[in-house]
Amino acid sequence: MKTNPVHMTNTDGEEQARPFVVIHPLDDAAETKVRTSGMGPMRMTLSVKISLMALRGYLLLMMMLLLYHILDLAGLFGHWK
Amino acid sequence: MRTVETAQLGLRGRVVRSKWAHSILTFLVVFGPGLIVMEADNDAGAVSTYLQAGAQYGTHFLWILLLLLPVTYFIQEMVVRLGIATGKGHATMIFERFGPWWGRFSLIDLQIVNFLTLVTEFAAISLALSKMNISPEIGVPLAAVTLITLVFTGSYRRWERVVVFLCLLDIAWFAIAFKLRGPLGEIVHHSFVPTVPSGGITANLVFVIVAIVGTTIAPWQLFFQQSCVADKRLRFSDLKWGRLDTFIGACFTIIVAGCMMLAGNAALVHGISFSDPAQMAVDLVPFVGPAIRTGILLLMINAAVLGTTAVSLSSAWAYGEVKGWPHSLELPFREAKGFYSVYVLCVAAAAGIVLIPRAPLQLIILSVQVLAGLMLPSAIIFLQLLLNDKEILGEEFSNKPWNNWVNWTIIIVLFALSLVLAAQVLAPKFFPSA
């Protein structure tokens, strides 16, 4: 990133601050990001396992609710009304 | 201030003399994705939800909006961090770190929810236009063409400037709320003190609360902002400005949402019941005059336009990332045909469905609520796990312990609310009305 003040040295060897330069990200040179590709799936730590299990449970519950709704629309639970 | 070419690298930049000017200008060049993602969430569905909440419960739920301010900020801040650190979109990250099954699940769910949301956006445009005596058969295709043209300029900056301008048009909600406001003391009281309306806790009250939360935090936002940050190529040093952008966006959005509730409150005060916001705007005319009607209808269209461009882009970016296609607003059509085609397809198909006579719009709106409920917790779980992925992000960008406490609390609450919403929609008989 080139937005810091640029320093130059004068004839006496003292540093002089030059003006700040602001560059739009799209005009700036691409910077190296953290590497993610080729690292494979995330390590299954206990918290990751629990989180994904909770997510599966949640999705299962939602599917059951949806199934209930469809069966209800089909009149299967009509006698409850 | 002047424009320079930096000598060594040939990069275009602006020279400023003071550190303050440097900070302000740097913020301005970073500013955009945070405001857009937040304000685009005040889309047609949100306008309807907030106006209905105001019309049914007055100013009672303003405190919920205030509570949602940090929630929306903390969730989107994680997205900014992940986007800046990896330079990749959310869909890619889910595929890479959780495998193809979860990747496909997220992508397909996102595409379905987004598409149904787009149909509701165009339905709102159609409603508002018809109340302005403009034929939807002309207005809806015109809106679709305008939305497609907006992204076809081959310039991210041009798209961003136009969309930021559209976001700022929502300032007009402040004027409407000011004109329609109730007693100031009541507004302040209900903004800071949680209260239950006089009817007590009913199924409808729970439904409205869950709908407010569900409207304020939507799954597409996570995908949109991360892709937007990646497309804009924000740098590590832009993180603090990206956070500020997101915070300003969150504040602006919550204030605008509050203004919509105050406008809805006017319907309650004048004893108007309505099924859609356009009808409310028309019914308010005898009490507040035609200018407010026109203002609300135009802002409804603006909300739908903002929602459409953001939601369609989140679909196009996500699909392009996963397919490995070039996917940037900086690219001309010939270099990113797949990316632009997804955008065009989303916009054109949604607009087309709305023009079909007797299209099942009510069913579509219900489906959006259920599928968004399904999608949001899973998308946030992946986000939270990715932000704890020290293998990739290291200590610098991964969540701190306090982040995790805050985020897990938010996630648990959202899980519970999403489940309640889905249960209310799918199994209403378990929620007896008062």
Confidence of residue A8 (pLDDT cuts 50, 70, 90): very low
Domain range spanning residue A15? 2-25+44-80
Q: Which two tokens stand for residue B49?
A: 């939800």
* Residue among B18, B93, B238 whose CB faces A36 most closely: B93
Task: Give B143→chain A minimum CA distance, Å.
Answer: 29
CB contact (8 A) between residue A34 and residue B392: yes
Lowest mean pLDDT among B117-126, B391-400, B422-431: B422-431
- Residue A74, C-beta contacts closer than 8 angstroms, at least 6 positions apart: none
Task: Give B94→chain A minimum CA distance, Å.
Answer: 9
Distance CA(B221)–CA(B234), nearest Å, equals 17
pLDDT for res B343: 97
Q: How far apart are the first and last CA of chain B?
A: 64
pLDDT for res B234: 96
The answer to the question of residue A20 being in a domain is: yes
CB atoms within 10 A of CB B205: 20
CA dihedral (B104, B105, B108, B109) in degrees, to 10, reads -160
Identify all chain A residues contacting B397, using CB atoms and an 8 Å cutoff: 34
CB contact (8 A) between residue B97 and residue A36: yes
- Region B384-396 average pLDDT: 90
Confidence of residue A39 (pLDDT cuts 50, 70, 90): confident
Alpha helices by DSSP H, B87-183: 90-131, 136-151, 156-169, 172-180
Q: Which two tokens stand for residue B368?
A: 């959006």
The answer to the question of residue A30 being in a domain is: no
pLDDT above 90 for B368? no
- Residue A15, C-beta contacts closer than 8 angstroms, at least 6 positions apart: A7, A8, A9
Lowest mean pLDDT among B22-31, B298-307, B358-367: B358-367
Beta bridge partners, A17, equal: A7
Confidence of residue A19 (pLDDT cuts 50, 70, 90): confident
Alpha helices by DSSP H, A1-81: 46-73
Pairing of strands B2-5, B12-16: antiparallel
The answer to the question of residue A63 being in a domain is: yes
- Region B56-66 average pLDDT: 95
Confidence of residue A2 (pLDDT cuts 50, 70, 90): very low
Identify all chain A residues contacting B25, using CB atoms and an 8 Å cutoff: 22
* Residue among B85, B86, B391 whose CB faces A43 most closely: B391
pLDDT digits (tens, 9 = 90+) for B73-122: 999 999 999 999 999 999 999 999 999 999 999 999 899 989 999 999 99
Backbone dihedral angles phi then psi of residue B201, each to the nearest 5 degrees? -85, 110
Nearest to B418 by CA among B268, B211, B248, B242: B211
pLDDT for res B3: 52
> Would you say B81 and B230 are in contact if contact means Cβ atoms under 8 Å apart?
no
pLDDT digits (tens, 9 = 90+) for B254-293: 999 999 999 999 999 999 888 788 999 999 999 998 999 9
In three-state secondary structure terms, B13 is: strand
Distance CA(B262)–CA(B286), nearest Å, equals 18
pLDDT digits (tens, 9 = 90+) for B202-261: 878 887 888 888 888 888 999 999 999 999 999 999 999 999 999 999 999 999 999 999
* Residue among A25, A55, A61 whose CB faces B419 most closely: A61
CA closest to B82 among chain A residues: A34
The answer to the question of residue A51 being in a domain is: yes
In three-state secondary structure terms, A36 is: coil
pLDDT above 70 for B366? no
Distance CA(B296)–CA(B80), nearest Å, equals 32
CB contact (8 A) between residue B381 and residue A54: yes
Distance CA(B119)–CA(B114), nearest Å, equals 9
CB atoms within 10 A of CB B270: 15
The answer to the question of residue A67 being in a domain is: yes
- State the average pLDDT for chain B: 90
pLDDT for res B60: 94
> Would you say B311 and B111 are in contact if contact means Cβ atoms under 8 Å apart?
no
Confidence of residue A3 (pLDDT cuts 50, 70, 90): very low
Distance CA(B429)–CA(A81), nearest Å, equals 9
pLDDT for res A9: 44
Rg (CA), chain B: 21
Confidence of residue B6 (pLDDT cuts 50, 70, 90): low
CB contact (8 A) between residue A69 and residue B330: no
Nearest to B350 by CA among B113, B149, B153: B113
Task: Give B400→chain A minimum CA distance, Å.
Answer: 15
Where is B346: in which H helix or E strand? helix B337-355
A–B interface: beta-carbon pairs under 8 A: 141
* Residue among B16, B96, B237 whose CB faces A37 most closely: B96
**For an interface test with A, which of B96, B112, B413, B418 has the most A Cβ atoms less than 10 Å from its Cβ?**
B96
pLDDT for res B181: 86
> Would you say B300 and B277 are in contact if contact means Cβ atoms under 8 Å apart?
yes
pLDDT for res B432: 60
CB contact (8 A) between residue A72 and residue B235: no
Where is B4: in which H helix or E strand? strand B2-5
ipTM: 0.85
The answer to the question of residue A15 being in a domain is: yes
Number of domains in chain A: 1
Distance CA(B38)–CA(B76), nearest Å, equals 9
The answer to the question of residue A10 being in a domain is: yes
CB contact (8 A) between residue B15 and residue A52: no
Rounded to 5°, the CA angle B296-B221-B144 comes to: 55
Amino acid type, B213: V
Amino acid type, A30: A
pLDDT digits (tens, 9 = 90+) for B157-170: 999 999 999 999 99
Backbone dihedral angles phi then psi of residue B215, each to the nearest 5 degrees? -75, -35
Nearest to B193 by CA among B56, B355, B43, B67: B67
The answer to the question of residue A53 being in a domain is: yes
* Residue among A2, A31, A62 whose CB faces B6 most closely: A2
CB contact (8 A) between residue A68 and residue B330: no
Rounded to 5°, the CA angle B65-B66-B67 comes to: 90
Half-sphere exposure of A49 (CA within 13 A, CB side): 4
Confidence of residue A81 (pLDDT cuts 50, 70, 90): very low
